[in-house]
């Protein structure tokens, strides 16, 4: 693996407007505007200059991330907050969770499978891998962010705990990198997988005290053939337990992991199985796979698994052309028993007609996080968002940073693929990865 060079991180500077209430409890008017700061008693520097630094740090820890990075330009002390252990500990305690999304331009699966290894790492791949597009569903805004440290030949595969997981494209044992988009110089390599694979499905879940990673399927059984046979798992936690690709398990027979994506919900990784549609579930603790039947599996189109509000959600278009049932887009939630699905939402019929006209049978990609679900229509700049809390569907603005291309796809046949993303300034468990250079004991399942 080549040496990684430090490079600057690109954080967009966006305007934030703060409104000052023009009346107080006594009914007197409080003037607003820059010219009033010198005469406004509420902005008297003799008051604010005596504000304790701990209280100032607490206020800064609540700032939205674009505002936080803009505030770092105020003075040297604020600039250094990102590298202050005391501030980061405070930030982890008080900063509210933000359910954002991050998207990358990626080529389709076939282009990876049939591509010559000589083409891996060319300039086009570098452009695809090293730029991401963050969407804030609360403000309905897009941000662009760069990944200057990611070497060519790596693709984003998952996201959790504020970290992005990158996996090498070249066939063979997979090299894996973890990076935090918000931290300059954040790049942590993991030990390579033991089994050679082509383009496996990857699942990642990170907490403040543990990392779990699963790599499944596309075993390279010969230079010309792959099969979905096995799973390797990586685990490390604050209690001193390590399992560095030492735990393996067999996948169910005749499974087809065409989605190349895993979703983590309550101790299990889930992924779609095709032909016919079903859901594969991997229990991390028991190291065991099982199949779950999908609802209305014969009538589903473009099914996707997402996590939303701690539940596994199946999103799909339903088409019963020979029955007197209107076409629709529906959401099902997997119940606690682990085998039963309940329909929880259906797109309003009038909206579905608009959606169907734009989609025109090309398919769509879904990603969920917290109370939000995003549905990106392939071959179009249109995308829908569903807000679970408000029970509201709405069209979102297209990504403004993809010039000359649509939101759902781009010129060379690739598409926007996204992950739920929680922006975080610190992930404590990554400190445990430094211990991987020391002797450790592996545990085989």
Does residue 350 fall inside a structural domain? yes
pLDDT tens for 73-119 read 888 998 888 888 899 999 888 888 889 999 998 765 444 444 444 44
Q: Are residues 422 and 303 in the same domain?
A: yes
Token couple for 311: 């539940």
Does residue 436 fall inside a structural domain? no
Q: Are residues 241 and 111 in the same domain?
A: yes
Q: Are residues 54 and 109 in the same domain?
A: no
Token couple for 434: 């430094």
Q: Which of 91, 123, 154 is the last residue of a domain?
A: 91
Which helix (H) or strand (E) covers residue 146, if one does? strand 141-146
The sheet with strand 328-334 has its strands ordered as 300-308, 311-318, 328-334, 341-346
Share of the chain above pLDDT 70, in %: 78
Q: Are residues 309 and 161 in the same domain?
A: yes
Q: Are residues 144 and 274 in the same domain?
A: yes
φ and ψ at 88, to 5 degrees? -65, -35
Q: What is the mean pLDDT of the segment spanning 418-439?
A: 80
Does residue 79 fall inside a structural domain? yes
pLDDT(344) > 70: yes
Range of the domain at 265: 100-431
The total domain count for the chain is: 2
Does residue 392 fall inside a structural domain? yes
pLDDT tens for 210-267 read 999 999 999 998 888 889 899 999 999 888 788 889 878 999 888 888 767 899 999 9
Token couple for 31: 């003037």
Residue 115, CA distances (Å) to 107, 112, 118, 175 in order: 11, 5, 8, 18
Token couple for 258: 């065409």
Q: What is the mean pLDDT of the segment spanning 421-429?
A: 89
Residue 29 and residue 43: Cα distance in Å, rounded?
14
Q: Which of 91, 125, 150 is the last residue of a domain?
A: 91
Does residue 5 fall inside a structural domain? no
pLDDT(35) > 60: no
Give the chain's end-to-end CA distance (angstroms, integer): 29
What is residue 444's predicted lDDT score, i.e. its pLDDT?
40
pLDDT(49) > 80: no
Contact 302, 318 (CB under 8 A): no
What is residue 73's predicted lDDT score, i.e. its pLDDT?
87
Residue 129's nearest CA partner among 159, 97, 108, 107 is: 107
Does residue 2 fall inside a structural domain? no
pLDDT tens for 271-281 read 998 877 899 99
pLDDT tens for 296-335 read 888 888 999 999 888 999 999 998 766 666 789 999 999 9
Q: Are residues 248 and 382 in the same domain?
A: yes
Does residue 441 fall inside a structural domain? no
Q: Are residues 262 and 396 in the same domain?
A: yes
CATH of the domain at 108: 2.120.10.80
What is residue 386's predicted lDDT score, i.e. its pLDDT?
96
pLDDT tens for 133-155 read 999 999 999 999 989 889 999 99
Does residue 283 fall inside a structural domain? yes
């Amino acid at each position: 693996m080549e040496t990684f060079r430090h490079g600057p991180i690109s954080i967009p500077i966006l305007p934030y407007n703060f409104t000052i209430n023009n009346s107080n409890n006594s009914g007197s008017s409080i003037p607003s505007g820059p010219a009033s700061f010198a005469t406004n008693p509420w902005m008297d520097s003799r008051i604010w200059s005596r504000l304790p630094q701990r209280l100032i740090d607490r206020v800064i820890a609540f700032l939205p991330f674009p505002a936080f990075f803009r505030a770092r330009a105020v003075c040297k002390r604020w600039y250094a907050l990102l590298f202050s252990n005391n501030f980061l500990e405070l930030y982890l305690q008080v900063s509210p969770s933000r359910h954002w999304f991050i998207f990358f331009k990626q080529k389709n699966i076939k282009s990876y499978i049939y591509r010559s290894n000589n083409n891996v790492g060319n300039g086009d791949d570098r452009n695809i891998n090293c730029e991401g597009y963050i969407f804030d569903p609360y403000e309905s805004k897009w941000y662009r962010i760069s990944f200057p440290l990611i070497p060519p030949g790596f693709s984003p595969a998952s996201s959790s705990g504020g970290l992005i997981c990158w996996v090498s494209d070249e066939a063979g044992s997979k090299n894996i990198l973890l990076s935090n988009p918000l931290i300059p110089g954040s790049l942590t390599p993991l030990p390579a997988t033991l089994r050679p694979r082509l383009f496996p499905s990857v699942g990642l879940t990170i907490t403040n005290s543990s990392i779990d990673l699963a790599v499944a399927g596309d075993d390279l059984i010969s230079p010309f053939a792959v099969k979905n046979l096995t799973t390797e798992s990586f685990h490390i936690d604050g209690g001193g337990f390590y399992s560095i690709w030492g735990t393996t398990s067999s996948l169910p027979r005749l499974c087809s992991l065409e989605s190349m994506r895993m979703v983590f919900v309550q101790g299990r990784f889930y992924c779609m199985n095709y032909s016919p549609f079903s859901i594969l579930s991997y229990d991390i603790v028991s190291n065991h796979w099982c199949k779950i039947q999908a609802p209305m599996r014969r009538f589903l189109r473009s099914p996707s698994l997402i996590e939303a509000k701690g539940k596994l959600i199946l999103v799909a278009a339903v088409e019963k052309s020979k029955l007197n049932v209107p076409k629709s887009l529906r959401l099902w939630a997997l119940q606690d028993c682990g085998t039963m699905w309940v329909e929880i939402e259906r797109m309003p019929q009038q909206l579905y007609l608009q959606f169907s006209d734009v989609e025109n049978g090309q398919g769509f990609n879904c990603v969920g996080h917290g109370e939000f679900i995003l549905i990106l229509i392939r071959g179009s700049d249109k995308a829908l968002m569903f807000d679970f809390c408000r029970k509201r569907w709405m069209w979102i603005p297209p990504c403004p940073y993809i010039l000359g291309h649509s939101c759902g796809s781009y010129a060379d046949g690739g598409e926007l693929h996204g992950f739920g993303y929680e922006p975080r300034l610190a992930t404590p468990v990554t400190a445990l990865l430094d211990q991987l250079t020391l002797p450790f004991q592996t545990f085989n399942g």
